Amino acid sequence: MISYLLYVTISIVLWVQLQPTLASVEITKGINGLDKLVLRQTHGSTVDVYLYGAHVTSWKNDQGKELLFLSSKATFSPPKAIRGGIPIIFPQFSNIGPLKSHGFARNRVWTKENNSRPLQSKPINEVFVDLLLKSTEDDLKIWPNRFEYRLRITLGLKGELTMTSRIKNTNTDKKPFNFTFAYHNYFAVSNISEVRVEGLGKLDYLDNTKNRTKFKDTRDIITINSETDRIYLGTPKKLAILDNKKKQREKSKTVDDLGPDDYKSMVAVEASAIGKPVILNPGQEWKASQNLSDVAVTVGLEVQV
């Protein structure tokens, strides 16, 4: 409850009480008429999620500041993927495999689940939405594995954004399958000359600008002063991005849905399972979560039987 003192000329003190907004989930129409879910928290933070791709396109704090980057040339025109926000990468990261780059989950329309099984007890004032993607006959033609992918997107009381994925092998022929995965986070940045990423120092990485040649980063804190596209291996569960720089002029000129100067205002730091593909036996379920806040990025990955 927020209270203000209002002093009027006759020296009477009036208390004006403002009721906080209730936490809610609204179903509405977004760009080009695509279905969109808007999660709102009591103190003003919001998250926008499109059913197309289960794609988070906006995450704002309680001051209305946008924390995610969305390309100035992003198209909301299926089957093209949306550039920016948080695309879901499944079942293949990049071109590491036979499918189109980054798989097909980001190019499918997901469904909203109303009666999904709980992940855990629900904290007070947490607002969330559950989404579901199942393999279709068209999917089986290009990736012959049956699966169920459940995604919970949660907006916490303090504005933190949590995404929890559960991917289950539903093959009926006792056949395991393997996949790679990523939350392809595009973070909005304000100053490209001062980006620092904490938590990746002293790690091995694959350099995508050099045919995924393996190197070791000898620095404690990662800074970016040229085109940078790396897969860090054996990463910790917690990272921090400190006011942000990603100078990527060379690549931005070659991406048709990225504005020529967009590299100045974004940095992509992705939580992923790439170095060693996940293997799931029939009936097994794999769980991956990330928690994003103004303080840090926390990631957890595990297989459940």
Which of the residues are catalytic?
184, 270
What is d(CA 299, CA 144) in angstroms, rounded to the nearest whole number? Answer: 29
In angstroms, the CA 167 to CA 148 distance is: 6
Residue 38 to residue 128: CA distance in whole angstroms: 10
Distance of CA 166 to the CA centre of its chain: 15
How many Å apart are CA 146 and CA 177, to the nearest integer? Answer: 9
In what helix (H) or strand (E) does residue 251 lie, and over which residues does it extend?
A: helix 249-252
Cβ(40)–Cβ(46) below 8 Å = yes
Q: For residue 145, what are its two tokens?
A: 């594995």
d(CA 131, CA 126): 16
Question: Are 240 and 199 spatial neighbours (Cβ–Cβ below 8 Å)?
Answer: yes
The maximal CA–CA distance of the chain, rounded, in angstroms, is 82
Residue 33 tokens read as 């008429």
